[in-house]
Structure 1
Amino acid sequence: MGFQVTLEEKQRAFAELKDIKTLLASRGWFPGTSGNLSVRVGEFTKEHFAFAVTASGKDKSVHTPSDYLLVDQDGKPIEATSLRPSAETLIHCEIYKATGAGAIFHVHTVFNNVISEFYAERGSVPIDGVELIKAFNIWDEEAQIDIPIVPNYADIPRIAELVERSIMPRIPGILIRKHGICAWGANAFEAKRHLEAFEFLFEYAYRLALLKK
């Protein structure tokens, strides 16, 4: 396969996913069985890598021995398992290949869904001068950013292709219209920071739009 994942690496990745899943579930960011989380493990090249990802159809507010599995750069399980990776795993694959990220978190919230629809025709969410932009290591005074939005389709490979083409260098996330945010970082800590910043900015943009009406 071009890579190996040790038992220690696997256990560490699963533990990281459990911790972040517990926190985000407590915030109600996984309604139903929605959302997915992944952490890259082992060596990385764009052609060969592996990551731990949440299994499909699981209630993320509870913990079981079958919550996660290991997949390769194409989203295929690398160990014998009856589990299926989350539906959006192919999106994770494309983000890893394009960015070399260490972790990707995808959640569905009311604010990220509403703001994605509000700015759908524009194709991005504009954020102007908000302090929390600094969470993305953007330190310009009164910085202005645009968070990209891509259409939502039932065909996940079609979304994955759009996501890969829409990634912006300084913005570690992409909104899928009326679906959710994919945020990433060099590791789980950074991905969590980025995700929290996005969610704050989405709520800010929504409330600001209401005030301007």
Structure 2
Amino acid sequence: MMAKQAVANLAVQLAHKGWLPATSGNLSVRVMNTQNFCITPSGVDKGALQPQDVLLVNAKGELLEDTEYRPSAETVVHQRLYHAKDYGSVLHVHTVYNNLASDIYFESGFVEFANHELLKALGHWEENAHIRVPIVENFNDLDLLGQAVGDSVVSGVPAVLVRNHGIYAFGRGPEEAKRHLEALEFLFEYKIRMRQLGW
């Protein structure tokens, strides 16, 4: 199945960047022309993930196949995002820079970026482009977390940060979601390094 292969490819690529440490994170890709999606299993090293390890679930997050694995505990967040809009892929990673940004700017409710070249990778080609990436609380109740993330989606901003947890980035397909994620991770690092320099 192409969606399973896509998830496995993304898992290996993002793990090699160090963005999925200690089996953290979860990635999903919607199965074309259905409400089903493929998602990473819980507690598995993403850097060694194989297509046969990826799980197929329905729109309710229920397994559609026999497997020794269980879906990521945060499958509900993916469900909410797929329900919020017609996304084709959702990527959740944990990095030092997105965690720092989510904590430093939590009281503002967002991280703002303006006049950066990489905003073009997020679809913003206009002069003086700017975006605000929303930040939500890291609820232990995953249903609450899923609701908070889904309710915080902003048009033109393909991501939501969770405080001291990570980012959910999304797109119409896996390559677009990955492009959005890579651009945002660059911007988080830039923001934090500028702050460290006192600018």
Q: Which of 6, 13, 27 matches 1:16?
A: 6
In the TM superposition, what whole-angstrom CA distance separates every residue of 1:122-175 from its partner, at most 9, and x where no partner exists?
Answer: 010011111101111111112111000000011111110111111001001000
Structure 2 runs not aligned, ≥5 long = none
Measured after TM superposition, the shift of residue 15 of structure 1 is 1.1
- 2:115 pairs with one of 113, 125, 129: 129
Q: Which amino acid aligns with 1:70?
A: L
Structure 1 segments, 4+ long, off by >4 Å, are none
Q: Which residue of 1 aligns with 2:145?
A: 159
**Residue 38 (str. 1) matches residue 28 (str. 2):** yes
Partner of 1:174: 160
Aligned residues: 199
1:71-150 to structure 2, matched below 5 A, reads 71-150=57-136
Give the match's secondary structure for 1:32: helix
- Mind listing any 5+ residue stretches in structure 1 that lack a counterpart? 1-10
Question: Displacement, 1:64?
Answer: 4.7
> Which amino acid is the alignment partner of residue 30 of structure 1?
L
Q: Distance in 2 between matches of 1:182 and 1:18?
A: 17
In structure 1, what is the Cα distance between the partners aligned to 2:141 and 2:92? 17
The answer for the alignment partner of 1:70 in structure 2 is 56
Residue of structure 2 equivalent to 1:60: 46
Name the CA shift for 1:76/1:205 in 2 (closer, same or farther; >3 Å). same
- Compute the TM-score of the two structures, normalised by the length of structure 2: 0.96
SS at match of 1:121: helix
In the alignment, residue 162 of structure 1 is paired with which amino acid?
A
Using a 3 Å threshold, how does the CA distance of structure 1 residues 64 and 134 change in structure 2: closer, same or farther? closer
Distance (whole Å) between structure 1 residues aligned to residue 120 and residue 98 of structure 2 = 19
* 3-state SS, counterpart of residue 127 of structure 1: strand
Residue of structure 1 in register with 2:176 after alignment: 190
Which one has a larger percent helix, Structure 1 or Structure 2? Answer: 2
Counterpart contact for 1:32–1:59, Cα < 8 Å = yes
SS of equivalent to 2:80:
helix
Amino acid across the alignment from 2:125: W
Cα RMSD, aligned residues only: 1.3
Name the counterpart of 1:3: none
With normalisation by structure 1, the TM-score equals 0.90
Asked if 2 retains the 8 angstrom alpha-carbon contact of 1:116 and 1:149, the reply is yes
After superposition, what is the alpha-carbon deviation per residue over 1:64-94, rounded to whole angstroms, capped at 9, x for unaligned? 5652111111111122333211111100001
Q: Specify whether residues 43 and 126 from structure 1 end up closer, same or farther in structure 2 by C-alpha distance, changes over 3 A only.
A: same
Q: Secondary structure at the match of 2:39?
A: strand
